[in-house]
Amino acid sequence: MQVIILFFSFLCLKTNTDHSMQQDIVDLVRKNNIEATRKALEQGGDVNAKDGSNRSLLLIATVNGHEEMAKLLVAKGANVNQQADNLDSPFLYAGASGQTELVKLFLDNGARFDLFNRYNGTALIPACERGHIETVKLLANTKNFPIDHVNRLGWTALLEAVILGDGSAKYQQIVKILKEAGVNTRIADHEGVTPLQHARSKGFKEIVKLLE
């Protein structure tokens, strides 16, 4: 009986120690303390440790725009596809926020195209909505990227650029990039309205010219 009690005491102590170490490294990443994070990882810290919302260290670094921290974590083997409770992953968030250098880094380190955000969308769709031209250019021209993926709202990247964009020069450029990348300009939304029809109804004359 005493052996069993000692064994369970050891397990509890180990669990508490592991949890403490995980929280410590999460705090270091949040504070962008690169050298302390490096040391913690070298001493056995989990590079894929998560916070209370299941956000990985790499996602925390990405959300905070800490590029050098993200590079360190990737170099130490962090999973670029690990999703949090809200389905954000480092790759999906980097695309949505227009962090093109991180998108490149994550593409080079196993970014998956079959994992989607809470709207069942790709990294490209919100990049188009938010006008992140360089990110759009990179993703739209990445081999095998699903440029015509339809999200839960019934929108492709092109539809989102037209419907949620303002028709300004940057959205015109995004539409041009998507068209040159070979998107299907005829895919309509759930109501059967095409990108061209949306552009006409919004009075986006330059985008209409691109899509006609």
Q: Do domains 1-118 and 123-212 have the same CATH topology?
A: yes
Tokens read off for 43: 């001493």
The residue ranking higher by pLDDT, 22 or 96, is: 96
Q: What is the mean pLDDT of the chain?
A: 92
Q: What is the pLDDT of residue 194?
A: 98
Query: To the nearest 5 percent, what fractions of the chain are helix, strand and coil?
Result: 55, 0, 45
3-class SS of residue 167: coil
The answer on pLDDT for 31 being more than 70 is yes
pLDDT in tens, 185-209: 999 999 999 999 999 999 999 999 9
- How far lies 90's CA from each of 17, 97, 98, in Å? 27, 10, 12
pTM of the model: 0.89
As a whole number, mean pLDDT of residues 39-66 equals 96
The domain limits of the chain are 1-118, 123-212
As a whole number, mean pLDDT of residues 18-43 equals 88
The answer on pLDDT for 14 being more than 80 is no
Q: Classify the phi-psi angles of 24: left when phi > 0, otherwise alpha if psi is within -120 to 50, otherwise beta.
A: alpha
Tokens read off for 116: 């989607």
Sign of CA dihedral 139, 117, 49, 145: negative
CATH class of domain segment(s) 1-118? mainly alpha
Fold exhibited by the domain 123-212: 1.25.40
Tokens read off for 119: 């709207």
